[in-house]
Chain A
Amino acid sequence: MNLISLALMIEMPTIVVLVKQVPDTNAKIAVQGDRVDLSSVKMEMSPYDSFAIETALRHKEAAGGTVTALTIGAAGTEKILKDAKAMGVDNIVRAWDDSWGELDSNALQSVLKESIESLGADTVYCGKSAADTGAGSTGPGLAERLGWSNASNVIGAEFSTDVTVSMPVESGVAKISVPLPAVISCDKGDFKPRKANVKGIMMAKKAQVELMTATAPASSVVVSNHSMPAAKPAGKTFEGGSSASQVVQLLRDEANVL
């Protein structure tokens, strides 16, 4: 090995992608009692996470290194790790402790920080938000806890010693250079998530899920109930294009929005 390839090796990123299991986004959601009933809903990887995996794999293809998919969840969430493996990540890791219930953002990010540190990562990709809560707190919150830079809602990326991302900003799209270490959260963008091929699926079947645990502080935000959104009162429907002028009047006089 010559000095140049040695130097390149030192620069190689250790990449972690955060993935989360959520209900199929096409599923009907029903509330039983005061909780959403997911017992008959198919679970899948949150769609934005597949953009994160794709971006991570492209980063590895450009710069070398390894990609590890990490989820926080009970044993039932391992299928999404297998799906990540089938797409081509190197390692799959699940962090859990049976004493953890619903973790609030502070507890979740504390667990993630500890897990990321013990995996020795310097680059983390995640979805812009999870399709269940839609919150989008994890990427920036984790970056702050690690003391890293971050970029959110990223729709494209180029890789060198740093990562140059495209992201929507006020009134346009900016290219932003993000120094590593960093947490980058991904939106649907230029990169189409690759489909797993047969070889990938076979490898995923055999792959071992590595288990780890961490310390979770008590949650100060606790879910008290779920409910269905109030049904909107029925609207007014008009037939024919000429009614459009009536609707404009109503928008002004009744709705007061013009």
Chain B
Amino acid sequence: MTNMIVIAELTKGNVNPSTAELVSAAKAMGGDVTVVVPCTDASIADGVSSYDGVSKVIAVKSDVFAGNDSSGWATALDSAIPAGTILCLATARSKDVGSRLAARRGLSIVQDVVSIEGSNLTSPIYSGKANQTVSVSGDAVVSVRANVFPAVASGSSNEVSVVDASGDVKTAVQEVMHRASARLDVSEANIIISGGRGMGSPANFTHLEAVADTIGAAVGASRAAVDTWDEIPHSMQVGQTGKTVNPNLYIAVGISGAIQHLAGMRSSKYIVAINKDADAPIFQHADYGIVATWEEALPVFQDALSNLLG
């Protein structure tokens, strides 16, 4: 039986909970599961040590994991990862590092997997307009979308071994400036509320921000909103030429639901649409559709949320 190696996803220096989904994805492929935790401080691996179904936890310590050099990440991880099939989360950084690890070991990589049956892996292609199933022989690197596989339960107490990989790595790329954005990024959020051209003006996005603050969501936008208003940056754009997101809840406000927008958000677990046009294509993809202007619907939505959560 082959080794399955899960690379824990790091988010703001901590283990992202979707790492527990990677373990169940690994079990679906079969084999003995080792979780490798990239870290600067091995104590963050403690949470992982309680995952069920894991036979080994390795914390790999290196300063490179505080930075953005995928070459350094791959070098440090490679030194600590045994041979086998490697799974990581399909985030921008992990897809990059996973590609390097695959290349380093002469393996192929299969990205954005949403379904696994043994060695048959399925990923969306053509921006989600179709699915592609591939069969993999031998070891590979596999990136798995978040929010698709169930998380394994915890309750076990696996031992954590610590590998110090600081010595081996030189950093190639150097960060010279960091412009922090005040708001949560759509690619990191579990809930997203996005506005389109139907918002009427960029100032009206404050209504979306208010909802976002109530439920801990990120604010996104359609391309029409980004292209029309300078105040709405491209980093907020969801869709084919923006970000692909996969949150638990996606709320589309004043967005028609063009195919290129759907490409970026159609795999969201639940979709809410607020649009004044009952024939807007977004309603065909919404779990809950509200046919109304946002001026009417958002205040009611906001109040109900505040009552429920506040």
Which chain A residues have a beta carbon within 8 Å of chain B's beta carbons? 23, 25-26, 28-29, 31, 36, 47, 104-107, 109, 131-145, 149-153, 155, 164, 167-179, 188-189, 217, 219-229, 232, 235-245, 247-252, 255, 257-258
* Alpha-carbon distance A172/B233, docked complex (angstroms): 12
**A144 near B298 (CB under 8 angstroms)?**
no
Residue of B69, B124, B185 touching A168 (CB-CB under 8 A):
B185
CA–CA, A26 to B261, complex, Å? 11
The answer to whether A173 touches B181 (Cβ under 8 A) is: yes
With known contacts A140-B70, A252-B308, A247–B95 Cβ distance under 8 A: no
B5 part of interface (Cβ distance < 8 Å): no
Choice from B108, B133, B300, B305 contacting A104 with Cβ under 8 Å: B108
Whether B296 pairs with A240 at a CB distance below 8 angstroms is: yes
Task: Check A240–B71 contact: CB distance below 8 A.
Answer: no
Which size bracket describes the interface of B in this complex?
35 or more
Q: Select one of B74, B138, B304 contacting A244, CB under 8 A.
A: B304
Residues on A with beta carbons closer than 8 Å to the beta carbon of B173: 149-151, 176-179
| A145–B291 touching, CB < 8 Å | no
- CA–CA, A131 and B130, complex, Å: 12
Contact residues in A for B289 (Cβ distance below 8 Å): 235-238
CB distance from A68 to the nearest CB of B (A): 22
Nearest residue in B to A190 (C-beta to C-beta)? B234
B134 shortest CB reach to chain A, Å: 5
State whether A219 touches B108 (Cβ < 8 A): yes
Q: Which residues of A contact B103 (CB under 8 A)?
A: 106, 109, 140-145
Bound form: Cα–Cα A247–B181 in Å: 31
The residue that A221 contacts in the complex, of B140, B285, B297, with Cβ under 8 A, is: B140
Question: Can you list 27 A-B pairs with a CB-CB distance of less than 8 A?
Answer: A47-B241, A131-B240, A135-B123, A140-B97, A143-B100, A149-B69, A150-B70, A152-B70, A170-B12, A174-B177, A174-B178, A176-B68, A177-B173, A188-B234, A188-B242, A220-B138, A224-B134, A226-B130, A229-B129, A229-B130, A237-B283, A237-B289, A240-B296, A241-B292, A245-B301, A247-B272, A249-B304
Q: Does B125 contact A (CB under 8 A)?
A: yes
Q: Which of A47, A105, A173, A226 contacts B102 (CB 8 A)?
A: A105
Closest Cβ–Cβ distance, residue A219 to chain B (whole Å): 7
A252 to B271, CA, bound (A): 13
For the residues of A in contact with B, the DSSP-based class is: mixed
Q: Report how far A139 CA is from B272 CA in the complex, Å.
A: 36
Task: Across the interface, name the chain A residue whose C-beta is closest to B244.
Answer: A134
A201 to B270, CA, bound (A): 47
Contact of B286 among A144, A235, A249 (CB under 8 A): A235
Q: Decide if B301 touches A25 in the complex (CB within 8 Å).
A: no
Contact check, A134 vs B125: say whether CB atoms are below 8 A apart. yes
Q: How far is the CA of A140 from the CA of B68 in the complex (A)?
A: 13
Contacts of B244 in A (CB 8 A): 134
- Chain B positions 151-191 with a Cβ under 8 Å from a chain A Cβ: 172-181, 184-185, 187-188, 191
Contacts A168-B92, A251-B272 given: A36-B130 contact, CB under 8 Å?
yes
Q: Does B107 contact A (CB under 8 A)?
A: yes
What B residues does A137 contact at CB under 8 A? 95, 98-99, 102, 109, 111
- Name, among B96, B107, B270, B274, the residue most crowded by chain A CB atoms within 10 Å (CB to CB): B96
Which residues of chain B are within 8 angstroms of A258 by Cβ–Cβ distance?
Answer: 215, 249, 305, 308-309
Among B92, B108, B175, B241, which residue has its beta carbon within 8 angstroms of that of A105?
A: B108
* Smallest CB separation, B245 vs chain A (Å): 13
Which A-B residue pairs are the 9 nearest by beta carbons? A241-B296, A149-B172, A144-B103, A248-B304, A245-B304, A241-B297, A140-B99, A175-B177, A244-B301
Q: Which residues of A contact B27 (CB under 8 A)?
A: none
| Residue numbers in A under 8 Å from B272 (CB-CB) | 247, 251
| A150 to B299 alpha-carbon distance, docked (Å) | 46
State how many angstroms separate the Cβ of B115 from the closest Cβ of chain A: 10
> Which A-chain residue is minimally distant from B100 (CB atoms)?
A144
Q: For the complex, is B44 an interface residue (Cβ under 8 Å from A)?
A: no
Closest chain-B Cβ to A231's Cβ sits at a distance in Å of 10
Interface centre among A109, A176, A236, A249, by most chain B C-beta atoms within 10 angstroms, is A176
B107 touches A106 (CB 8 A): yes
From A25, which residue of chain B is reached at the shortest CB distance?
Answer: B240
By the criterion CB–CB under 8 Å, are B180 and A140 in contact? no
With known contacts A131-B127, A247-B288, A171–B185 Cβ distance under 8 A: yes
Interface hub of A137, A235, A244 (most chain B Cβ within 10 A): A244
Asked if B201 lies at the interface with its beta carbon under 8 angstroms from chain A, I say: no
How many angstroms from the CA of A6 to the CA of B255 in the assembled complex?
56
Please encode chain B, from 80 to 105, with 1 for each CB lying within 8 Å of some chain A CB and 0 for all others. Answer: 00000000000011011111101110
Contact A176 B308 (CB under 8 A): no
Q: Which residues of B contact A242 (CB under 8 A)?
A: 296, 300
Check if B301 sits within 8 Å of A248, measured CB to CB: yes
A132 touches B178 (CB 8 A): no
Cβ B136 vs Cβ A171 within 8 A = no
Instruction: Closest A residue to B121 by CB, please name it.
Output: A221
Q: Are B112 and A244 touching (Cβ within 8 A)? A: no
